[in-house]
Amino acid sequence: MKNSLRATVKRGSMAGVATAGAAALLLTGCGAAPTTGSSAAPTASDYTGCIVSDSGGFDDQSFNQSSYEGLKKAEQDLGIKVNQAESKTNNDFEPNLRAMVSAGCDLTVTVGFLLGDATKSQATANPDSHFAIIDFGYETPISNVKPIIYDTAQAAFLAGYLAAGTTKTGTVATFGGIKIPTVTIFMDGYADGVKYYNEQKGKDVKVLGWDKAKQDGSFTGDFEKQDKGKQFTQNFLDQGADIVMPVAGPVGKGAGAALKEAKAAGKDVKLIWVDSDGFLTAPDYKDIMLSSVMKLMGEAVETVVKQDKDGEFNNTPYVGTLANDGVQLAPFHDLDSQVPAELKSELEQIKKDIADGKLKVESAASPKV
């Protein structure tokens, strides 16, 4: 007896939940039904472009996301079909790639050097499928894999020069997520840019967080812990830096938070973002965003997909440089007024010199072509 009573009460409470749900539906569910049953537009092409992320996932605000967006753009512009697979761990690479091949992908984009071995083994096993790998080049080229790599040091060089020309304290800083070539190449370019400024102007702007000669510096240890980014940045601020370039994906937000706090406390500090234009992708830090070192991966992915779709696939590496706009220094946006006109024209000149090959930017991590 008691039991059934309790059950009734419980059912009553469930009914309450159901009512609440129905009420929620009431608020949103009053639209008119579409006249046709199916709403999915037929795809214009049978071509399937696929992408497999590394463990960062497609929402990493970094290279996975940029590459994914490039493929999505190709879906819109070229009318291709798209398949995507996120990898949660390194263990997912091979199953994901196998699944992509068996799902009939014409071109599979794999993101990051960690997928190098898995891509190679699948490419060798499936010579008719095409692959493109972001941020990784093979020592011996594989006939059906196109590497998409970036000479990021060129754009980071500009950022270093910009930072050196803008700093008030004479100290700028950078730190990385993990010490891997795709990270240290930013730091190399940045340090060289500062060095070049010092040589040209006879100044002595210091760089904290990276020693190019020793190839060693500050790393937070992963691309996740934002609090560490904040802590590193606070340390740099204490040591007199006023411009920080975090090369650590989302950890950069920690740096942004620390700089915002410093700004609120009356300090004149600035942030340099990496990978994408931080003014757009990390709008929280608009007011301190000096510029960004951009790798335009989406464009590269779309180009490679288009080439493959048109039957023009080749395995020559695509190398993003200042010359082909694969890497760029982002606009200054809100902080435009704080960059002297003279500095701007110098940056233009340096950009031209690097693109023409007059000025060489070298990094141990630069793609060897």
Partner 1 sequence: MSENNQPRHSAEPDPERIPTTQSPDAGPQDPLGDDAEFVTTLDTAGGAMRPSAVPVSAQSGKIPGAEEPDSVLRKIFTGNGIVTILAVLLALFLGGLLIAATDKVVAATSSYFFARPTDFLAAVWSAATGSYVALFQGSVFNPRGNGVAGQFAPLMETLTIATPLITAGLGVALAFRAGLFNIGAQGQIIMAGILAAWVGFALDLPVGLHLLLVLIAGIVGGAVWGGLVGVLKARTGAHEVIVTIMFNYIALYFLRYLLDTDLFQRPGETTPISPILDPSALYPQIFGSQYRLHLGFLLAIAATVFVSWLLNRSTIGFEFRAVGANPKAALTAGINVPRATILVMTLAGGLAGLAGVAQVAGTEKVLTDGVAATYGFDAITVALLGRSTPWGTFAAGILFGAFRAGAVQMQIQTGTPIDIVLVVQSLIVLFIAAPPLVRAIFGMNPRKKKAATAGKTQKAATTGGAA
Residues 155-194 that bind partner 1 (CB under 8 A): 178-181
Name the residue nearer to partner 1 (CB basis): 161 or 190.
190
Residue pointed to by tokens 């083994």: 121
d(CA 77, CA 67): 15
User: In the complex, what is the shortest distance from the CB of residue 131 to partner 1, in angstroms, rounded to a whole number?
Assistant: 16
d(CA 340, CA 342): 5
Determine, following the binding rule CB under 8 A, whether residue 85 of this chain makes contact with partner 1.
yes
Q: Do residues 77 and 44 touch, judged by C-beta distance below 8 A?
A: no
Among 18, 43, 95, 336, binds partner 1 (CB under 8 A): 95
Determine, following the binding rule CB under 8 A, whether residue 337 of this chain makes contact with partner 1.
no
Q: Do residues 98 and 83 touch, judged by C-beta distance below 8 A?
A: no
Determine, following the binding rule CB under 8 A, whether residue 358 of this chain makes contact with partner 1.
no
Name the residue nearer to partner 1 (CB basis): 83 or 315.
83
Nearest to 135 by CA among 295, 252, 291, 246: 295
Q: Do residues 186 and 156 touch, judged by C-beta distance below 8 A?
A: yes
d(CA 367, CA 369): 6
Largest CA distance in the chain: 92
Determine, following the binding rule CB under 8 A, whether residue 12 of this chain makes contact with partner 1.
no
Nearest to 244 by CA among 262, 266, 224, 227: 262
Name the residue nearer to partner 1 (CB basis): 5 or 341.
5
Name the residue nearer to partner 1 (CB basis): 122 or 328.
122
Three-state DSSP class for residue 49: strand
Name the residue nearer to partner 1 (CB basis): 59 or 356.
59
Among 9, 10, 45, 141, binds partner 1 (CB under 8 A): 10
User: In the complex, what is the shortest distance from the CB of residue 343 to partner 1, in angstroms, rounded to a whole number?
Assistant: 33
Residue pointed to by tokens 């830090």: 285
Determine, following the binding rule CB under 8 A, whether residue 314 of this chain makes contact with partner 1.
no
Piece of 5-13, 63-71, 259-267, 327-335 that binds partner 1 (CB under 8 A):
5-13
Residue pointed to by tokens 């990276």: 210
Name the residue nearer to partner 1 (CB basis): 113 or 190.
113
Residue pointed to by tokens 């000025």: 359
Identify the helix (H) or strand (E) that includes residue 247.
strand 243-247
- How big is the site for partner 1, counted in residues (CB under 8 A)? 43
Identify the helix (H) or strand (E) that includes residue 172.
strand 171-176
Name the residue nearer to partner 1 (CB basis): 2 or 360.
2
Determine, following the binding rule CB under 8 A, whether residue 31 of this chain makes contact with partner 1.
yes
Contact residues for partner 1, defined by CB under 8 A: 3, 6-7, 10, 25-26, 28-34, 39, 55, 83-86, 88-92, 94-96, 99-100, 103, 113-114, 116-117, 136, 139, 178-181, 221, 364-365
